[in-house]
Structure formats: structure tokens, C-alpha cells
Chain A
Amino acid sequence: MNDAKLEKLQILSFVLDDEFFGTEIGIIQEVIEYREVTKVPRTPEFMLGVTNLRGQVIPVIDLRRYFNIGCQAISVDTCIIIIELMLDNERTSIGVLADRVCEVLELDVGAIKPPPNIGTSIDNRFIYGIADHDEQLIVLLTMSKIFSHEELQQAFESGSVASQQHEVASESQ
């Protein structure tokens, strides 16, 4: 960890819709099964609500709605990945909904490619790299950017507008 140069990166890969994503495991607190989430009124669709994790009230985010990609129905595979981030100097736990969690992978840092300008379904500013693994393309997400104050603020305002397109999807849940 204190090495001057990072050689290997461990990530957790998970599926949103049909795409593979990854986040480095350092920020992952745990992965829990999908459970009852209480919707907080007057919030955009991507903010699924809050859930109880051993007495803590944790917000749960649906990145599919956040990124405007397809939504699959809740299944036995649906999970909530609990990540821990420093937001405004405060340790904050956030639940991230995933359609399926795959595995922990070790990637060669050298093999991680910078995000392409086109071809991914989500904005480049949330991606720090792309990796090939077993012929799967894994998009590496910058969680701290996604949940930064500015981004959230923006999403909070525009998200409620975008959410209307997903009314149908949300009711199928």
C-alpha cells in the first residue's frame, strides 16, 4: 500500500443492466442482499431511498437511473454494495444497487486503459479506466466523483426531470 508505484489493482466487478463495472475494493465496506428500501419523498428517481444497515440509516442509489441506462427488475441476484466515502470530510456510507455482483479481480495497472471518448454509456468524468478481463470490458467507476457534492446537487435538480422517463420502469419494480 505504501509502495511508490502501484502494480496491481483489486476491484470488485458488478453488473448494471448488461454492462460490467468495477470499483476498487478499498472503498467497499460490504455487499448485502437487496432489502426493503424506504423512498424519501420529493427526491429524484435515482435516489432509491434509505435502508437500515444494523441500525444505521444508509442511502441507496440506483446508478442505472443515475446514468440513464436500462433497468432490470429486482431479482435474487440484486445486491446493494455498501461503499464508504469521505464526503465533505465526513465518512459516509452509501449503498449502490447492482443487478449482480461478480467477483474480486486483480488487474495489472499497466493493462488499464484510459476511458475512450465514445462507446461507453456513461459520462467520461465518472470513469477512470477500462479493463479487459476474460473478454469482458469492465468500466472502472470513480465513486468519489459520482457522489461529490457538486454532482449530486446537479443530479438532484435535473434527476427529478429525467426521472419521468423511467416512471414505467419504476413501477415494474
Chain B
Amino acid sequence: MDLVQIFVDESFEHLQALEEALLELEDSPGNAELINTAFRAMHTIKGSAGMVGFDHVSYFTHHLETFFDRVRNGEFALTAAMSSLILECRDHIKSLIEQQSPPELMVQSEALLARLHQLAPVTQSAPATAPAKSTVSEADSLAGYWRIEMTPHTTTFTEGFDVLPVIRELQGLGESLVSYRWHAPDTPFNPLSCMLHFTLLLSCNVPRSSIDEAFMFVEGDWQIQIEKISVLEDARLGDLLVENGVVSTEQMEMMLDSKPRTGEVLRDKGIATDHQINQALQQQEFIRKQTQSQDAPQQTLKVPASKLDSLMNLVGELVIVQSAISQHAVETNDDKLKTIAEELAMLTAGVRDHTFDIRMLPIGSTFGRFRRLIRDLSVDLKKEVRLHTFGAETEMDKMVLERIGDPLVHLLRNSLDHGIEMPEVRAEKGKPREGSITLGAVHEDGQIKIVIKDDGGGLNTDRIRQKAIERGLINEHSQLNDDHIHQLIFEPGFSTAEKVSDVSGRGVGMDVVKTSIESLQGTIHISSHAGQGTQINIYLPLTLAIIDGLMVKVGDEHFILPLSAVEECVESPREYHRQGPRLIKHRGERISAARLREAFSITGEGPAIEQTIVTRIADERFGITVDEVVGQHQTVIKNLGKMYRQVRGLLGATILGNGNVALILDVADFYEQCKYQLAQSTLGANVNVKPH
């Protein structure tokens, strides 16, 4: 990759960070960490833009950097108006980078900067009186950095206390760095009195009270100062020396005029000793290290996606070879080989899981984008909406995550546009003016469940029914319950928007969403209560590359069913008289079932005792009848390729241990197909599902 590309990629990441920080700041105003994130984002873009010759970007971000610097110095608080403007600026920077700063954009830069300066007027005097850490009281999040200054009372030792236990306890709270100095260097040394002052930098995840506890027995006598510090990448040596009381602010400012390195200058002038400077340097090092370790989870090692894909393919091959060996070991009944095969199986599973893990990303990484969408849209639509999220840490396959983005945008837009009512309407109904949309993800039954929920008006069942009849999706006599009617909005060509709005309802609608979800082997279900809101559940597989499968046999052919869809297997004597999809009794419930042999036109007759695999699709059960259940099978999913893209009911193919190819069933799609047949063959069909 060339430098410019790296710059562009990284800048987008920083802009993303900026946006997320701004949006989060709306919820926790004044959060020092977030302001720092914003500052750092601008700082870094400014620097790297200059390096690759994006001078205008560098110039523009410089102003934003200054702006955030002033916010974090407590010069002024970030207002909502400022946030909005910064978001505009963020988009502007993105355009500047993408379009390489054409003149018309450069003109816009000035307009934006003028507005920025208006909101945050430039003051002449430096904020000398404003304490650099005005955000000390801000302790929303537990994770933080603390500077603890303590001067034990001079009688500490003689009174039988010691400093060691206290400091040891503090160090037990997290990562720490201790340094000491003589509290009053001019006082004559007395071995019996405590003459030391300690500074402890602590990085920990505990509340302030835990820190206080360490001082429980000494509180009254010791001079203790505990403050939360913001950790900056550029914790400067000079600042640390000032904070450590080694040099005064005035001395420091004097120094800053001279160019050489602060430490050297101070040493040469005899203001600070080597010892003092070294301590400050250690603190600097500690702070830097902490900052890095804090950022570590977000910092990514960039690997081209293609390399990851080839690794994935190789793992796939490995899994196939491994299952071939296992099979061979069982067949030959060779104990030694069996042991080796078992070990290999374990190792392979490990390699597989780790490779998957590399591809897994937390869904939270996309939440920022949605928050912005909701924010902008609600302004456009003059609605008041708050987006709540949960399960940001839920991990999904990178590819799934990338492809789920657009459908989610569509669904969120829909909720906002059609679901949430105008504030006045909500007030009349006795609801809070501010609507709420919840977006979240959880792992459930080996699948990922994504929830989009709003507390809006809910679906209009009658209108949907009406529309479905108009569109010929159902006929007037169809007896559908409300839930079935609601699912109709996912049918092709269905859109209930009364007028085509800018936001949604462009005719392409929920059917596209459904198709995208299905292409990810997922399912979607909507449930709604009039007046109370709508909830959409999306179920997605954890990964698309390797699944646990159940191998079955029909005649000589092997098929694989995704194990995640399988509930249980039941055997029953074959009823010769029934052909085609049928209803069977299962645990007091009537479920539809189809013979794979018939559905796939496989020649020959099934055995006298046939096996039916009960599968679950969303909240429905469906039986798939086969000749024989072979067993569980690690299945590497291979695409069937372009030639077979029209074939329905199949998820792909996999290669068996003997080198033959077996097909993997797409249970949900297969069910759809059979449902259609069933509806046609059953008298008085009450579900009219269109064939695809």
C-alpha cells in the first residue's frame, strides 16, 4: 500500500473515532477521555495529512485540533451546537480527503471555520487560571488513570505505621508507577521521621472509593491528593516535572522558549537533578505505555482480506483432511492411528477456532454509524428519537458484519420514518415525546440475534392486509393471523409508505432486506403491537465458512444439514401411501414434513424405517425425511458457484473425507419451497406463499 492509501484509510478510522466520541459526548458531556479521543483524532490527521501533502486537510484539522485542545483545557464546554458543527466538519474532512481538496471544498472550509470560531471565540489570554484538570470530578467510567500524591505524616514510622503496606495495597489495584521525592529537602535528615513524598500513577478499573480505602487508617494525618488524570499520548516531560513540583510553571515556561530537549536544559541549569528527571521520564513512559495498552484492542494489525481468505481456505482443507483421517482410523480400527487422529482433530479445531476469531469483529464497531444516522434523520424528520444499543461486544464474522450494515440501515430508517410518531402525536397518546429505538445483538443458540425495536405506533395490520390483497399477495378469503400478515411486508413489491419519502419507501424495501439476510443464511421476523411498537429479530449464523453439520443419506447420496437448525431425529415406519409434503405428529404438535428423496427426485425407494429430522426455522418446526442419519460432520462450506446460483434450497457443497462432494441443505429455503408445495396440495390452503 502506498502512503497516501494508508493515510486515507487511517484518516477514515480517526474520523470514525471522532464521530463516535462526539456522539458519546452527547450522553456523557465533559467526559475527558472522549474529548481526548477527538483531540487525538484531529491531531493525528493533521500530522499525517501534512506528511502526504494534503496540506489543506492539515490546515483545516489544525483548527479543529486547537478547538479540542481548548475544550480539554476547560476553556469552554462542548455545546450541542458545537457538536453538530464538528460533525459537519468531520464530513467535510472526509470529502476533502476523498476528493483531494478541490477549490470549491476549500471555500467551504473557510465558512465552516468561521462558524467554528463564532461558537468558540478566540480569547487572547491563555487560560492561566483554569486548572488543567477541570474534569477531575468526572468519573463516569471506572477505567481510568489516577495520580495520587501523598505525604505521610512525619511521625508515621514512629507511630508504628509504615508506608509500604499502603502503597502495596494501592499497587494491587492496577498497573502503577511509584516515584518518591524528599518532601522538604532543606529540613535536616532525621531517620525516625518520614521525610518522603510519594507520587503514584495508577491505571485501574476500580471506583475512587477503593483507592480511598487504602488510606483508611492514615487519612487524618497524611496529606493525600487523589485526582483522575487524562492520559494523553503526548504527556510531556515538562508538565510532569511541574506536576511533580520539581520545577515551577514559570521556570517551565521560560524553558519552553528554548528549543533543546526540556530534560537536558533543566539538568544543565541545575533546576532538576538527574534523579528527578529520570522519575519524570519513567512516568512519561508509564503513561505512554498505558495509553497504548488501552488502545490496543482497537489497534489493528492490517492484513489484506485476501490473505485471511486464503488462510480460511487452508483451514478448510485441513478440516477435510482431518476428517478423512478420523474416518480412516475408525474404519481400520487402528488404535494408534485413532489416538493420532483424535489429537489432530483437537488441534484442527483449535486452528479453526482461532482463524475464525481473527475474522470476528464486535458489532459495536458499526453502532457509531447507526447513531449518526438516527441523529441526522430525526433532525430531518423533526422527530425526537434516542438510539439505545446493547451487546456492542457481540462478535460476528467480518463478512457477515459488512453485509448486514445496509439492511440494518434500512430497518432503522424504517423504524424512524414509519414507526416513531411525531413528538406531538406521542404526547397525545401519553407516550414520552422522545421515541426510543433499540439496536442490539446477542448470541443465542449458536446464532447471532440482532434486535431492532422501537416504541412507535406499530404496524397497521389492516392496511398491510389491504395492500397485500391489492398486490395479489393474498386473496380476500385468506385466513391469516396478525403475525402472518405482518410478515407480508417482507414480500417483494410491498411497501406501505403512504407517500414516497426521502427516507424510506422507495419501493425497494423490506423484501430487499429479507433477501440480504437470507443470503447470509439468516432469517428475519417482525412482531408488532399496535400503539406499542415493533420489534424485528434477525437471526444470523456465527460464521459462513465452516459449520457443524449433520450428515444424512438418501440412496447413495450424502447431504448435510446445518446442525444449528436441527432439533432432533425421529424414526418412523414409512407410510407408502403418502407422496409429497405431509403433516406428521410430533410431540403432540402437527408439523409439516417432506421427503428429501421426493423433493430432490432421487430415484429408488426408501427403507422401511425412515428417519425424520425435525428442524427449527425461526419459530416453526419442519421435518425432513431421509433414509439414514450418518452423524455429525465438520462441514467446510464451498460455494456452488455461478452456474448453480439459481438453485434453491441449497447452501453450498462440501467435500467429504473420500473426496466426493456432498450438498448442504439450506433448511429455511428448502422449507419455503416445500411450504409452497404443501399449500398447493393441501385442501383449503390457508397460507398463500408465493414461489420464488
Contacts and interface: CB of A to CB of B under 8 A. Distances in A.
Contact of A40 (B313, B639, B644): B644
B99 interface: no
A74 interface: no
Nearest to B316: A55
A97 to B, nearest CB: 14
Nearest to B648: A42
A11 to B, nearest CB: 24
In this complex, which of A39, A55, A59 has the most chain B Cβ atoms within 10 angstroms of its Cβ? A55
B554 to A, nearest CB: 10
Contact of A41 (B599, B659, B662): B599
B218 to A, nearest CB: 69
B642 A40 contact: no
Contacts of B192: none
Interface of B is mostly: mixed
A90 B650 CA distance: 21
Interface stretch (A24-32, A46-54, A103-111, A114-122): A46-54
Nearest to A90: B642
Nearest to B641: A59
A57 interface: yes
Interface string A148-160: 0100110010000
Contacts of B353: none
Given A52-B655, A55-B320, A156 B660 contact: no
Contact of A57 (B600, B602, B648, B655): B655
A152 B655 CA distance: 25
B661 A55 contact: no
Interface in A36-69: 36, 38-43, 47, 49-52, 55-59, 61
B640 A50 contact: yes
B531 interface: no
A173 to B, nearest CB: 12
Given A40-B650, A41-B600, A42-B649, A92 B661 contact: no
Contacts of A156: 646
B557 A38 contact: yes
Interface string A123-150: 0000000000000000000000001010
A36 B644 CA distance: 18
B643 interface: yes
Interface in B655-676: 655, 659-663
Contacts of A40: 640, 644, 647, 650, 663
A94 B320 contact: no
A171 to B, nearest CB: 8
B600 A47 contact: no
Nearest to A59: B643
Nearest to B596: A41
Given A38-B653, A42-B649, A59 B638 contact: no
Nearest to A50: B661
Nearest to A49: B661
B601 interface: yes
A94 B643 contact: yes
A169 B306 CA distance: 44
A7 interface: no
A57 B659 CA distance: 11
A102 interface: no
Contact of A55 (B317, B601, B602, B641): B317
A92 B660 contact: no
A88 interface: yes
A43 B601 CA distance: 11
Counting from the closest, the 3 A-B pairs by CB-CB distance are: A41-B600, A59-B643, A38-B661
Interface of B: 313, 316-317, 320, 557, 599-602, 638-644, 646-650, 652-653, 655, 659-663
23 contacts: A36-B659, A36-B661, A38-B663, A39-B557, A40-B640, A40-B650, A40-B663, A41-B601, A41-B650, A42-B601, A42-B649, A43-B647, A50-B641, A50-B644, A50-B661, A51-B661, A52-B661, A57-B638, A57-B641, A57-B653, A59-B641, A92-B642, A147-B643
Given A42-B649, A52-B659, 16 more contacts: A36-B661, A38-B653, A41-B600, A41-B650, A43-B647, A47-B644, A49-B661, A55-B317, A57-B640, A57-B655, A58-B641, A87-B642, A90-B642, A92-B641, A92-B642, A92-B643
